[in-house]
Chain A
Amino acid sequence: MRTLLADKLLAKIMEWTPEEIDRERPLLQAMADLKWNEYQQFSPGTRFLESLIKWLQQFENLEDRKTGYRLVRDHLIFISSEQLAHLVDIIFSEKVNPILIKKTACEKGLSPHLVTKILNDNSYSQNLRMSLFVGLSDGSRIDQFRRGAFLNNEQVIATYSISGGKVGDMVEKLRQEIPDSKFKTLFLIDDFTASGKTYCRADGGGKLGKIFTSIFEPGGTFHPAVDHINLEVHILFYVATTDALENIRQGVEGWKKKNKKEFSCTVECLLPIDDSVKMKIVSDNELMAFMEKYFDPSIVDKHYKEGKHDLPYLGFNECCLPIVLNHNSPNNSVAILWLPTDKKYKGLFPRISRHRENKYED
């Protein structure tokens, strides 16, 4: 019954004809049931349709509501929990294992296509065991990854910020299986990146900067655990924009150059999102005007300013993505989609910020 009331209200505020209702309602209901309803930051009692109605109602006129609806209907990319779980399930076989197979093949002088031979070789098992898997955020779902890949608990950590004692334990366990060994391959896993700007800064900032510093600086947490000479680092994302991947690669090169360190480092993702998604929005003048009109500048804080912000309504670093993840909306997406509930305009999928404003800052 409640769905029916919501549908009625939606049809009313959109002033849909019966033909339009025929067309839109099945689509909305199907998508809501499939994934949009599972957004974790809806307030209690709210599901997608209710959020959509509240969102559309805040726009001044029918034309703006139709533009807003068009943004959702034609551009929104919602990555559901199930879809992300699927990516987590396949990343080992799609990305990690081919790297290990290639590495082993190289060491043994074998052709990489002799997969069974390589997998049966002791070197492969050793290379796998001497790999360390690090989750870069809670979105990395490192626990699911570990279980799906049947990895040893002693080579998987959920966060890069761990104690030296824990790292020591892990190395000790490794040496019980492979004497005098260290971790040779580092897999750094995260769920999503849109700009990649803050991942690696030459001054040691950013997640990656901190990890590299920790690896190469004597006294660093990872320093005793890692084979510095033969180190390979592989940074893996489930979903990433092609721009972000490039920015991260440049960031890593910048760090290596500044710190005069050389090691093999690749940056990959399972589901790349190219420029076309952004260009489709940016080339639509009506959408651009709409997003500019319904924007609250108070969201531009010091974190926001770390990225490009001439057109702040396009999201952090002007990424202009129409992406929403099931657990939260990235701030790289267009602002009207994720504006928090305490702002002048409310987002369709309101966001919880990682960086909470300190009310007592001057």
Chain B
Amino acid sequence: MKIRNPFLLRASERIESDAGFLRLYSPLILDYFIDNMDGGELWNTFLFIRSSPGAGKSSLLRLFEPTSLLTLLNRKSGDEFKEVFKKLKKLNAVSDDRINVLGVNLTFTRNYELLESFSNLPPGTRDRLFYSLLNSRIITATLRAALSITRLRFPEDLHKIEFKYKDENLYFKKINIPCNGHELYNWAAGIEKAIYELLDSFLPVNPTSIEGHSELFSLEALRPDSLLVEGRSLFDRILFMLDDVHKLSAKQREGLITHLLEKRTNASIWLSERLEVLNNLKTNRGRDYEELNLENYWKDRESKFEKLLTSIAVKRAAESREDVEFALDAQQSELELAEVYKEAKKTLSNTINTLSAGTTRFNEWKNHLFQFEGTDQETCELAKQIEILIHRNLAKSELALDYSLSILELQEKTDEKVVQAARLFLSRQFNLPYFFGMTVLAKISTNNVEQFLGFSAPLYERMLSLNLNQTSVSISARDQDREIRKLANEKWKDLNKMIPDSVLVTRFLENFCTFCINETFRPTAPYAPGVNGFYIDATRTIKLINEDEWLSNDIFTDLQIVLNTCLAFNLLHVKEVMQGKKGQKKNIYYLNRWLCVKFGLPLSYGGWRTKKPDDLLRWTKR
């Protein structure tokens, strides 16, 4: 059923119908897998899928679930589904007449963590219970998936599954293998039930009565050739998708990952988790496993991400019952802003004249400006660029020869960064729209689809309202800017409700952003177009406080908390840059772009300052 504003639909978990989900899903992320396919790195590997909330992890996993693939197979000729089908076919997940991959999705919940709270149980026992629970759930999930993909009924048709695994390692102690699906299910469900009783009981339960497992053998035992449905092997591979791994305790998570890496099973295993720990930054990619950090993937492919968002916007708008396209004006409305630019022109001219009084150095530049035949907007932009360059020139400490700088020199000094800085300064000084257009909205989304939907929902609501009023549905640049800033302010206010340690975090961000504003809007625009990130320089200094290993130093606890929270909730994100000595990489912490909107900072990357941990720690204080 069509709804008024489909941009309000969030999170794949909440789109109930598979067809609805597939209709709205944009499969550009599958290009990552297609690119990796040639290297044979897609299947039979261990892949980490990481991101902050809303980047599309669960949607990606849902795509490979049996019901999604079945729906897709049934509708592969439909226009809305062709693109997804084509890409999945390239991955060998589907072919024209069958599904090749059995996707088994197991979402971790916090009740695994509960096992850790049984302090009276020895750690070894807790580990065994953990693996038992995990094995039983993987087995039951796989049986369900197998029936689903073959359109059989669960649990009535479990007996139609044959489990023919050769149990050479004697993993299956209390059940005779081979067996049918019904027997296997009962065995697994029995283990799960016994562990639930342990978790739910107020009284002590003897854990020795529960069958414990020392390893995760289910991933090895469940293979396409060992799981037959009605006597046939119906899929080429099984893809185990373990979602929300961050919900395990730290010990469980580490144990599970270590175990999986050591086991080196040939199974295809995808682990999906949120970025919740600073130590995630130290992963060893490529050597033991692959990692797909969704935000990092899009960070390096800005135009592709914009294409993804445009595709999502088109699909979502098509689901609206009001037949309104998602259209963002990428130009300022010159008529609307005519008066503003007129006034701005006068002001800027006076400023330049005042600045350059007492020297003839800038006469040619001034003449160029006064003879400029562009629109008022273009003239103002040029004036601002000249103003910045004049400030830079005047700020130079060496004695300058008082000769007139040429137009050529003006053009040489006016690089893209100065142009961007000038636009930003202009918008701030004269209250002109700055945040508008699809490209800017894509940047503000900071590589997160849900963030894009969060900003586009009210914009689409406005388009619907304009359509109702029978005016043009194109929102003016000024209105876009206003709505986007309003939303950023609302998100800022909501931080108190959304994140832990909000007082500490917001204080840090406010102090940091104040610093960024001060640095950005210096008249010389030294870090054009502006500062919105920092690098932590933890090299030893002469100071008394040892700033080495600040990650583990108790003095920096507040800073650790702030950075962990900011990373987990996507308030800061990390971008790797090559700078300094050859091959030296630096992790730059950038503000989420909606914070840049809130504080009126530019959206570009590249503007960052080096800070000591001690400096950053001070920002957590008043």
Closest-CB distance, A67 to chain B (whole angstroms): 23
Residues of A within 8 A of B461 (CB): 22, 25-26
For window 7-29 of A, CB contacts with B under 8 Å fall at 7-8, 11, 16, 18-19, 21-22, 25-26, 29
User: Is B466's CB within 8 Å of the partner chain A?
Assistant: yes
Q: How far is the CB of B460 from chain A (nearest CB, A)?
A: 10
Return the contact of A7 from the options B5, B462, B468, B471 (Cβ within 8 A).
B468
Say if the beta carbon of A229 comes within 8 Å of chain B.
no
Partner of A8, one of B321, B462, B468: B468
* Contact in complex: B469, A21 (CB < 8 Å): yes
A26 touches B5 (CB 8 A): yes
Q: Which residue of B lies closest to A20 (CB)?
A: B465
Task: Specify the main secondary structure of chain A where it touches its partner.
Answer: helix
Contact call A11/B468, Cβ cutoff below 8 A: yes
Nearest-neighbor residue (CB-CB) of B458 within chain A: A22
- Digit string of B1-25 for contact with A (CB within 8 Å is 1, else 0)? 0001100000000000000000000
Knowing A22-B458, A22-B461, A22-B462 touch, does A11 contact B4 (C-beta < 8 A)? no
A16–B466 CA distance with the chains assembled, in angstroms = 11
Max chain A Cβ within 10 angstroms of own Cβ: one of B461, B468, B471:
B468
**Minimum distance in angstroms from B485 CB to a CB of chain A:** 14
Q: Which residues of A contact B322 (CB under 8 A)?
A: 4
Neighbouring B residues of A21 by C-beta, 8 Å? 464-465, 468-469
Docked Cα-Cα span, A19 to B468, in Å, equals: 12
Contacts of B5 in A (CB 8 A): 26
Q: Which residues of B contact A25 (CB under 8 A)?
A: 4, 461, 464-465, 468
Q: Please tell me if the beta carbons of A18 and B465 are within 8 angstroms of each other in the complex.
A: yes
Q: B468 and A22: CB pair below 8 A?
A: no
CA distance A159 to B458 in the complex (A): 52
CA distance A11 to B4 in the complex (A): 16
Docked CA distance A29–B461 (Å): 13
A11 & B469 in contact (Cβ 8 Å cutoff)? yes
**In the complex, which residues of chain A have a beta carbon less than 8 angstroms from the beta carbon of B458?**
22
Q: Are A29 and B462 in contact (CB under 8 A)?
A: no
CA distance A8 to B470 in the complex (A): 9
Q: Which residues of B contact A29 (CB under 8 A)?
A: 4
Which B462-479 residues sit within 8 Å CB-CB of chain A? 462, 464-466, 468-471
Q: How far is the CA of A4 from the CA of B462 in the complex (A)?
A: 15
Chain A residues 49 to 95 lying within 8 A of chain B, measured CB to CB, are: none
A7 to B465, CA, bound (A): 10
Q: Mark B177-195, 1 if CB is under 8 A from A, else 0.
A: 0000000000000000000
A26 contacts across to B, CB distance below 8 A: 4-5, 461
Q: In the assembled complex, how far is the CB of residue A282 from the closest CB belonging to chain B, in whole angstroms?
A: 34
> Known interface pairs A4-B322, A26-B461. Does A18 touch B4 (Cβ–Cβ under 8 Å)?
no
Q: Residue on B with the closest CB to A10?
A: B468
Q: Shortest distance in angstroms between A169's beta carbon and chain B's nearest beta carbon?
A: 46
Complex CA distance for A22 and B468, rounded to whole angstroms: 10
Q: Least Cβ distance of B208 to chain A in Å?
A: 32
Q: Find chain A residues with CB under 8 A from B469 CB.
A: 11, 16, 18, 21
Chain B residues lying within 8 Å of A11, measured Cβ to Cβ, are: 465, 468-469
Output the nearest chain A residue to B482 by Cβ-Cβ distance. Answer: A19
* A16 neighbours in B (Cβ, 8 Å): 469
CA separation between A3 and B465, bound complex, in Å? 13
How far apart are the CA atoms of A3 and B466 in the complex, in Å? 16
List, in ascending order, chain A residues with CB within 8 A of B465's CB. Answer: 11, 18-19, 21-22, 25
A18 to chain B: closest residue by CB: B465
Measured in the bound complex, the distance between the Cα atoms of B473 and A21 in whole Å is: 13
A19 to B459, CA, bound (A): 11
A-side contacts of B471, CB under 8 Å: 18
Per-residue CB contact flags for chain B residues 446-465 toward chain A (1 = under 8 Å, else 0) read: 00000000000010011011
B:313-355 near A, CB below 8 Å: 321-322
Closest to A3 in B: B321
Q: How far is the CB of A8 from chain B (nearest CB, A)?
A: 5
CB distance from B487 to the nearest CB of A (A): 12
B533 CB to closest chain A CB (Å) equals: 34
CA gap between A26 and B322 in the complex, in Å: 13
Q: Which residue of B lies closest to A21 (CB)?
A: B465
Residue of B nearest to A29 (CB): B4
Chain B residues positioned under 8 Å from A22 (CB to CB)? 458, 461-462, 465
**Alpha-carbon distance between A8 and B471 when the two chains are bound, in angstroms:** 12
CA distance A64 to B471 in the complex (A): 26
Residues in chain B near residue A19, CB distance under 8 A? 465
Name A123-155 residues within 8 Å CB distance of B: none
Query: Which residues of A, 181-218, contact B by the 8 Å Cβ criterion?
Result: none
Choose among A8, A19, A26, A29 the residue with the greatest number of B CB atoms under 10 Å from its CB. Answer: A26
Chain A residues whose CB sits within 8 angstroms of the CB of B464 once the complex forms: 21, 25
Cα–Cα distance between A76 and B320 once the two chains are bound (Å): 29
Contact of B466 among A4, A7, A18 (CB under 8 A): A18
- Whole-angstrom distance between the Cβ of B178 and the nearest chain A Cβ: 47
Closest Cβ of chain B to A105, distance in Å, is 26
Bound form: Cα–Cα A258–B317 in Å: 71
Chain B residues near A3 (CB-CB < 8 A): 321
When distances are taken between beta carbons in the complex, the residues of chain A under 8 Å from B470 are 8
- Give, as a whole number of angstroms, the nearest-CB distance from B316 to chain A: 16
Most chain A beta-carbon contacts within 10 A, residue among B458, B469, B471: B469
- For residues 557 through 606 of chain B, which have their beta carbon under 8 Å from a beta carbon of chain A? none
Minimum CB–CB distance for B606 against chain A, Å? 36
Interface centre among B458, B462, B464 (most CB of A within 10 A): B464
Bound complex: CA A3 to CA B464 (Å): 13
Report the minimal beta-carbon distance from A329 to chain B, rounded to whole angstroms: 28
**Nearest chain B CB to A177's CB is how many angstroms away?**
37
- Smallest Cβ distance from A68 to chain B, in angstroms? 20
Q: How far is the CA of A1 from the CA of B253 in the complex (A)?
A: 52
Residue of A3, A11, A21 most packed against chain B (CB within 10 A): A21
Min Cβ gap B110→A in Å is 29
Q: A26 to B8, alpha carbons, bound, how many Å?
A: 11
Nearest residue (CB) in A for B461 is A22
Q: How far is the CA of A3 from the CA of B322 in the complex (A)?
A: 10
Q: How far is the CA of A113 from the CA of B495 in the complex (A)?
A: 43
13 A-B pairs whose Cβ atoms sit less than 8 Å apart in the complex = A4-B321, A8-B470, A11-B465, A11-B468, A11-B469, A16-B469, A18-B462, A18-B469, A19-B465, A25-B4, A25-B461, A25-B468, A26-B5
Contacts A11-B465, A22-B458 supplied; 18 other A-B pairs, CB < 8 Å:
A3-B321, A4-B322, A4-B468, A7-B468, A16-B469, A18-B462, A18-B465, A18-B466, A18-B471, A19-B465, A21-B464, A22-B461, A22-B465, A25-B4, A25-B468, A26-B4, A26-B5, A29-B4
In the A-B complex, the 7 residue pairs with the closest CB atoms: A21-B465, A18-B465, A22-B461, A22-B465, A11-B468, A8-B468, A18-B466
Listed in ascending order, the chain B residues whose CB lies under 8 Å from chain A are 4-5, 321-322, 458, 461-462, 464-466, 468-471
